[in-house]
Structure 1
Amino acid sequence: MDTPAELGGFLRTRRAALRPEDVGLVSYGTRRRVPGLRREELAQLAGVSVAYYTRLEQGQSAGASDGVLNAIARALRLTPDEQAHLRNLARPARSGRPRAPRAECARPATRQLLTAMDQVPALVLDRRFEVLAWNRLGHALTAGHLSADAPGHPRERPNAQRMLFLDPHTRELYPRWETEARRAVSSLRVAAGEHPDDRRLAELIGELTMKNEVFAALWSRHPVRRCSFGTKAFHHPLVGPLELDFERARLPDSGGQALLMYSAEPGSPSEAGLRLLATGLNDAAGPGGTTGLGEPSDAPERTSLDRLGTR
């Protein structure tokens, strides 16, 4: 990732979002050639020289101090996630050259945890949002049209963000797809700032920019948010509408892997829908059924899930 260019783009979008009157400044002159704050105005607010701020925005001032970055963050009214992103871009931790793509895997103990969470849809994602493992309910909820053992094969491994933007089945799963798209781009911005040398992550972003106009437009706005919890709406092909809360928790000492879990409000129709989905999976598994963690299955030809799909 071209970190200096990303830093300049990020700062310009945040300057454009503020007007002089928003921050208590008197506007210079009567005509403004650019939207939002000018560099001179932002430098005045942050208490730095115009020349220094210009160099920073152009990526020519590496190693900016915490004091300067904090002052610029306050002037731009950045959120905590945006402040962290600014620091990552202004002082990237580089290893010298982009890292070669490396296949990751979920730890055995993590996979064991997924199996134990048989009533909770759960997935393990790496920092590039590739699905390293899922339990049976997580697979059935988010990607039932894919093979259950796909995460076990790096070349076939699903990527949550690629599926969202490029897979029509996944797009149909989310009735509020635009909301999910904004979340996805915001999360990818965070990941790109934290891992500027990750070549596979850069390739994913490049692919989505080239193949999806909505992604390209959202990416150009530099949204930054971790999106670690919230609510998602699903329209599941087997059990219908679901409104589920999600939590994405980073796993310790895992290089950025995270556990993504879904739950429904007790007593709600969504909880009933999840129970129905889980019941169908339990009936389908039987002797010799799949664990949902990428292992093969010899399921019966016609399962309870099959029967659900005919209703």
Structure 2
Amino acid sequence: MITTRTGDLGGFLRSRRERLTPERAGLHPGTTHRRVPGLRREELADLAGVSVGYYTRLEQGIGTGASTAVVDALAAALRLDPAEHDHLRTLAAPRPPTRPRTRRSRLRPAIRDLLAALPGTPAIVIDHRADVLAWNPLGHALLAGHLDPAAPDAPQRPNIARMLFLDPHHRALYRDWHAKAQTTVAALHQAAARHPADPGLDRIVGRLAVDSPDFARLWARRPIRTCAHAVRELDHPVVGRLTLANETVTLPDDDQHLGLFHARPGTPDADALTLLARSATP
């Protein structure tokens, strides 16, 4: 299960401290034997300009948060990239207690109309839990032609993370499965930081950790990255190999994401999408 928000802060700090070698941090490794390759707590505290006791309390989940100055100092000492730095800010920011978020995400009618207005572009909308809220016919044919197209309106919605790790048909679609898996797990980690009181998200991650060893290993590594665009190499069961640009548009008012796939005009990939669109037309 997902840990508490404070526990996530400590776990994230520990994971980044343990991956940072003294050489990369600009420290002399010394001659004493190290049981682990990463930095010691006292070394990181010294680099960040905080006391060892204060840093230890943060990592152990005893602290209640950290100021912006401390977060920025820790991010610099840990050599975090911009996405990881933003994630650390989210984890460390104080928040009042929140009621559990239990309601299902809703799709705005305007977004549903937008999907219908893109008949030649595969499109899908997912929420922060990776639940599929809607897809247009071509998006369904590209990503999940083996599933009922009406599934987003069913009580048990399809979930992109579950499909990626547990559905062999969807998993086989991605020739770059490992890259897609890392970005999916990273997105769930970032969603857990934004929604620390979401039992639905807890259940999804908990079941995946039990049912998929691949997911459990990736989740423990705490990958954090921003992936607004990518090139996807696909093996489609109907039209064969495809190379598509995948653009992800964030819908911030709803904490949802619109995924779009497209091919360069005049290419065999574009021809394959046209063929797939014909097969998807009722």
**Short-chain TM bin:** over 0.9
Q: Match of 1:264?
A: 263
CA contact (8 A) 1:92 1:196 kept: no
Q: Match of 1:234?
A: 234
Q: Match of 1:302?
A: none
Distance 1:6 1:17 in 2: 17
Shift of 1:137: 0.3
What secondary structure, in the 3-state scheme, does the structure 2 residue paired with 1:21 have? coil
**1:117-156 pair list within 5 angstroms:** 117-153=118-154, 155-156=155-156
Q: 2:18 aligns with which of 16, 19, 26?
A: 16
CA contact (8 A) 2:247 2:259 kept: yes
Shift of 1:94: 4.8
1:25 maps to a residue whose letter is L
CA contact (8 A) 1:46 1:75 kept: yes
Shift of 1:194: 1.1
What secondary structure, in the 3-state scheme, does the structure 1 residue paired with 2:80 have? coil
CA contact (8 A) 1:239 1:273 kept: yes
Shift of 1:92: 5.1
Shift of 1:148: 0.9
Shift of 1:4: 2.3
Distance 1:252 1:15 in 2: 31
Q: Match of 2:109?
A: 108
**1:23-102 pair list within 5 angstroms:** 23-91=25-93, 93-99=95-101, 101-102=102-103
Q: Match of 1:291?
A: none
1:104 maps to a residue whose letter is S
2:199 maps to a residue whose letter is R
Q: Deviations over 1:61-82 (max 9, x none)?
A: 2131100010000000111111
What secondary structure, in the 3-state scheme, does the structure 2 residue paired with 1:20 have? coil
Distance 1:95 1:200 in 2: 18
Q: Match of 1:278?
A: 277
CA contact (8 A) 1:3 1:89 kept: yes
What secondary structure, in the 3-state scheme, does the structure 2 residue paired with 1:156 have? coil
| 1:257 to 1:6, Cα distance in 2 relative to 1, 3 A | same
Q: Deviations over 1:167-219 (max 9, x none)?
A: 11111111222222112111111111111111101110001000000100011
Q: Structure 2 unaligned segments of length 5 or more: list them.
A: none
Q: Which deviates the most, 21-30 or 140-149? A: 21-30
Shift of 1:275: 1.1
Shift of 1:29: 4.1
Shift of 1:86: 1.0
Shift of 1:229: 1.3
CA contact (8 A) 1:10 1:222 kept: yes
What secondary structure, in the 3-state scheme, does the structure 2 residue paired with 1:246 have? strand
Distance 2:140 2:178 in 1: 22
Q: Match of 1:307?
A: none
CA contact (8 A) 1:246 1:260 kept: yes
CA contact (8 A) 1:127 1:257 kept: yes
Shift of 1:266: 2.4
Q: CA RMSD for the aligned pairs?
A: 1.4
What secondary structure, in the 3-state scheme, does the structure 2 residue paired with 1:19 have? coil
Ranges of 4+ aligned residues in structure 1 off by more than 4 Å: none
Q: Structure 1 unaligned segments of length 5 or more: list them.
A: 286-311
Distance 1:173 1:19 in 2: 37
CA contact (8 A) 2:25 2:78 kept: no
What secondary structure, in the 3-state scheme, does the structure 2 residue paired with 1:129 have? coil
Higher gyration radius (CA): 1
Q: Which deviates the most, 103-112 or 209-218? A: 103-112
Q: TM-score scaled by structure 2?
A: 0.95
2:214 pairs with 1:214: yes
CA contact (8 A) 1:62 1:91 kept: no
Q: Which deviates the most, 234-243 or 3-12? A: 3-12
What secondary structure, in the 3-state scheme, does the structure 2 residue paired with 1:53 have? helix
Distance 1:104 1:3 in 2: 22
Give the number of aligned pairs. 280
